[in-house]
Amino acid sequence: MDDVHRDILQRGLWFEEFELGARYLHRPGRTVSEADNVLFTTLTMNTQALHLDAAFAATQPFGQRLVNSMFTLSTMVGSSVAQLTQGTLVANLGFSDITFPAPLFLGDTLYSSTVVEEKRLSKSRQGQGIVVLRHSGRNQDDVVVATAVRTTLVWCEGAA
């Protein structure tokens, strides 16, 4: 019976498939729990009381614990992988322009999207191209909580 089915492998986009100016919406969103925040914060040895100490955080300007911004960044970028770079990425070349214009709180849901800003064939690596992606994360109220520009090296179709 397996011989009659066509296999389709989940993958990201080849260099040629990235569309300049297109905005890719990454779904589903990710609701952040206390366990997510505490585990990520302690795994990364970040002892910031704003993430771990509810009593202390209550006395600070936001009045509650903040989700670790590195968790926010990682989740925002990670949510793009299945749609954009799964199996087609050679390497991340760098991140820039990372901002956290508003806090993400426990119980908030992070929705991410990515705009393709630039793309060009690599001059030094045949069969590969450089794609610049602008990631944006918004909470359930459509407030921007994180942005980042990521420069990637991806395979051209047929070259991998």
CATH (domain of 72): 3.10.129.10
- Which helix (H) or strand (E) element contains residue 115? strand 109-121
123 in a domain, yes or no? yes
Domains identified in the chain, total number: 1
pLDDT of amino acid 5: 84
Q: Which two tokens stand for residue 52?
A: 């771990």
pLDDT of amino acid 10: 82
2 in a domain, yes or no? no
- Low-confidence stretches of the chain (pLDDT beneath 50): none
4 in a domain, yes or no? no
pTM: 0.92
160 in a domain, yes or no? no
1 in a domain, yes or no? no
97 in a domain, yes or no? yes
Domain extent, residue 140, equals 11-155
CA distances from residue 50 to 59, 69, 104 in whole angstroms, order as listed: 10, 11, 12
62 in a domain, yes or no? yes
Give the Cα separation of 71 and 40 in Å (integer).
7
Give the Cα separation of 119 and 79 in Å (integer).
21
pLDDT of amino acid 1: 54
Give residue-wise pLDDT tens across range 89-135.
Answer: 999 999 999 999 999 999 999 999 999 999 999 999 999 999 999 99
Give the Cα separation of 155 and 160 in Å (integer).
6
5 in a domain, yes or no? no
